[in-house]
Amino acid sequence: MPTITTQVAIIGAGPSGLLLGQLLSKQGISNIILERVTGEYVLGRIRAGILEQGFVDLVHEAGVGERMQREGEVHDGFEIAVYGQRTHIDLKTLAGGKTVMCYGQTEITRDLMEARQQAGLQTYYQSSDVALCDVKSDKPYVTFQHQGESYRLECDYIAGCDGYHGVSRKTIPEDLRTEHERVYPFGWLGLLSDTPPVSEELIYSKSERGFALASRRSATRSRYYLQVPLSDKAEDWSDDAFWAELKKRLPADAAAKLVTGPSIEKSIAPLRSFVCEPMQYGNLFLVGDAAHIVPPTGAKGLNLAASDVATLCKILARVYRDHDKACIDQYSQIALRRVWHGERFSWWLSNMLHDFGDTAISDMDSKTFERFMNSELDYYLNHEEGRKVIANQYVGLPYEDLQ
Ligand code: APR
Ligand code: PHB
C-alpha cells in the first residue's frame, strides 16, 4: 500500500477544507486534501452568499481575494419585512462601520480550488472508503481508496472538514460526543435566475403565506427562496408557480419590481440547527458543517466554518512555530462559543420569520408562539437598540484569540 506523509490531513474539499489548506500552506504547514466527489460536483452546489468581514479577511490572507474584491458587492444594510412593512437594518451605522460582502459560496470555492491547483497542492478527488485511524495517538493516519489503489496517509493532525454527512464526526466515539439538534417543520426552496434582482439589498420577508427571501449574486443574477413544507419536491414547483408565490410573499412595492425568467437551479434544503460537542478528539479537529449546521436565515453557515478555520490555523501555527502542543486543547472551547452564538442567532431569526403552521412549539400552540414572535419582531425592529442587536450579529461577532 503506497504511504504518503503530510503534516495535516484534511478530509473534504468544501470551503472549510480548501480555505484551511490554503492558509496552512501560507504558513509553511504541509497538507493533503481527500475529497469523496469530483471538483465539478463540489462546484455544482449552490449555497448562501453573504460573507462576514472576518471571512473576507481570511480569504485575503489566503491570497485568494482578488476576484471577490472585484466582483463581490459590499452591502451596507438589508431589510426585514413583516406582513408588508419594511424595516431597513443599516449595518454600517448600527454595527460600527461594519458591512457584509455579497459573493456566492460557489465562487469562493472555485477561487480556492484554482489557487490550490496553481500552488501545486495535492487534492485526491474521488477518494472512497476514507477511514481515520489512531486519532488519539501521536501518529494518526488516514486510509483511503483512489483510482483502484489503497493508500495510507500519515500525518500529525487531521482536520475533519467533510460536512454533515462525513466520516470525521463519527470517528469520535458515540459516548464521548453530544449532538444537539432541532429539525424545523419546513424547508427552503431556492431558485437562481439570470434576472435583475428586485432590490439592491437583501429582503427577508415574513408574510401571511410564509417566509420568502430576496437575495442576489449580481446586478443581473437573482437568488430567491420560499419557505415550503418538507413534503414538497423541487420538481413539483414549476418556475411559474415559484414566481407567482414569491410575488405574493414579498412586500407589494418590491413585488411590483419582480422580473421573472427561467431558473438556472432549483432545489429544496431542509432547515436544521445542529451542534456536535466537543469539536476535538485527540489529534482530530472538526471544522464547519462536520460539527454544526444552522438554518440559512442569517447566512451564518459558511461564516461559522470560517471562524473554525481561523481558530484552527492559529492553533496549528503555534504548534509548529512554538512547539506548543498543549494549545490544541483550546480548539473546542473557542470554536464552540462562537458557534453557539451563531446557532442562537439563526434559530431566533428563523423562529421570528417563519410560519410554523400547526406545529406545537415546546409548551405552547403555534398561534401563541406566533404572537410572541411578532411581538419580538415589533420590539427589535422598532427600537434602535433592537436593530443594533440584529446588525451586530449579522455582520458577525469578533473572533476570539488563543490564551
Ligand atoms: N471523504 C472525503 N470527503 C468527504 C466525505 C468523505 N467520507 N464525506 C463528505 N466529504 C466531502 C463532501 O463531498 C464535501 O465536498 O466534504 C465536503 C464538505 O463540504 P461542505 O458540506 O460544503 O462543508 P464545509 O466545507 O464545512 O462548508 C460549510 O457549506 O453547507 C454549507 O452552510 C454551510 O456554507 C457552509 C459551508
Ligand atoms: C443567499 O444569497 O443564498 C442567501 C443570503 C442570505 C441568507 C441565506 C441565503 O440568509
Q: Rounded mean pLDDT of the chain?
A: 97
User: Residue type at 252?
Assistant: A
Secondary structure of residue 277 in the 3-state scheme: strand
CA distances from 290 to 19, 27, 28, 163, 168 (A): 15, 24, 25, 4, 7
Helices (H), 178-299: 239-249, 252-255
Q: What is the pLDDT of residues 16-33, one digit of tens each?
A: 999 999 999 999 999 999
Nearest by Cα to 213 from 246, 239, 243: 246
All domains of the chain in start order, with CATH: 3-77+98-181+271-358 (3.50.50.60), 184-267 (3.30.9.10)
DSSP summary character for residue 349: H
Q: Looking at the CA of 394, name the nearest ligand.
A: 2
Q: Is the Cβ atom of 296 under 6 angstroms away from ligand 2?
A: yes
> What is the mean pLDDT of the segment spanning 8-14?
98
Distance CA 216, CA 241 (A): 20
Q: Is the Cβ atom of 50 under 6 angstroms away from ligand 2?
A: yes
Enumerate residues 6+ apart whose C-beta is below 8 A from 269: 187, 188, 190, 296
The answer to whether 75 is a known catalytic residue is yes
User: Residue type at 18?
Assistant: L
Number of other residues whose CB lies within 10 A of the CB of residue 355:
16
Q: What is the pLDDT of residues 256-308, one digit of tens each?
A: 999 999 999 999 999 999 999 999 999 999 999 999 999 999 999 999 999 99
The answer to whether 7 and 139 have CB atoms below 8 angstroms apart is no
DSSP summary character for residue 250: S
DSSP summary character for residue 353: H
Query: Which residue's C-alpha comes closest to atom 1 of ligand 2?
Result: 48
The rounded Å distance from CA 79 to ligand 2 centre is 13
Query: Which residue's C-alpha comes closest to atom 32 of ligand 1?
Result: 301
> What is the mean pLDDT of the segment spanning 97-103?
97
The answer to whether 116 and 68 have CB atoms below 8 angstroms apart is no
Dmax over Cα atoms in the chain, in whole Å?
Answer: 65
Q: Looking at the CA of 272, name the nearest ligand.
A: 1
Mutate to test the pocket of ligand 2, among 46, 50, 352 (most ligand atoms within 8 A of CB): 50
Q: What is the pLDDT of residues 355-368, one digit of tens each?
A: 999 887 878 999 99
Q: List the catalytic residue out of 206, 292, 300, 314.
A: 300
